[in-house]
């Protein structure tokens, strides 16, 4: 399952992500992974979640990001939740590529039985209509 949390900068998306991550850790029988660009969430997310900084791995572009997520699921069968902050900073600002990325991740989520949550700093009207079903506006 893929869920998008959409809103402009300063609307509280990251606070919601922190809350979702900490709740997921409490409820999960597996591993919870939080992915971000930079390391600003170190003290906000519980230490029981795996915190990954994409800058350490040189991830840029949605194809590379998808490969990273696939490897994450392949390398650790018990990842139950993956939460991503700053999705467009990691993958890029091309909303067409983003829609294709979400479609591929949705297939991965079903195969790996993993929940993916992506924070998207954009106005809902900017995103393709195909993403409406998985979007939640903040």
Q: How far apart are CA 51 and CA 39, in angstroms?
A: 9
Sheet holding 2-7, edge to edge: 50-53, 31-36, 79-84, 115-121, 2-7, 135-137
Which residues, in sequence order, are CB contacts of 115 under 8 Å at separation 6+? 1, 3, 24, 80, 81, 82, 109
Q: End-to-end distance of the chain based on CA atoms, in angstroms? A: 19
Structure tokens at 72: 């994450």
Predicted pLDDT at 136 = 67
Report residues of the chain scoring pLDDT below 70: 136-138
Structure tokens at 26: 């409490």
Domain count, the chain: 1
Q: What is the CATH number of the domain that holds 132?
A: 3.40.50.300
Q: How far apart are CA 67 and CA 101, in angstroms?
A: 10
Sign (positive or negative) of CA dihedral 114, 119, 120, 124: positive
Q: Give the percent of the chain with pLDDT over 90.
A: 73
Predicted pLDDT at 32 = 96
Q: What is the pTM (predicted TM-score) of this model?
A: 0.92
Residue 58 belongs to domain spanning: 2-137
For residue range 84-111, list pLDDT tens digits in order: 999 999 999 999 999 999 999 999 999 9
């Amino acid at each position: 399952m893929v869920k998008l949390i959409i809103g402009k900068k300063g609307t509280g998306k990251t606070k919601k992500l922190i809350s979702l991550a900490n709740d997921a850790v409490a409820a999960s029988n597996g591993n919870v992974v939080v992915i971000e660009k930079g390391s600003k969430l170190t003290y906000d997310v519980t230490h029981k979640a795996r915190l990954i900084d994409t800058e350490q791995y040189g991830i840029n572009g949605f194809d590379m990001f998808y490969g990273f997520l696939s490897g994450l699921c392949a390398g650790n069968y018990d990842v139950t939740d993956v939460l991503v902050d700053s999705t467009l900073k990691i993958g890029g600002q091309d909303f067409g590529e983003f829609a294709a990325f979400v479609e591929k991740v949705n297939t991965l989520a079903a195969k790996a039985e993993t929940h993916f949550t992506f924070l998207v700093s954009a106005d809902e009207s900017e995103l393709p209509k195909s993403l409406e079903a998985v979007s939640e506006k903040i």
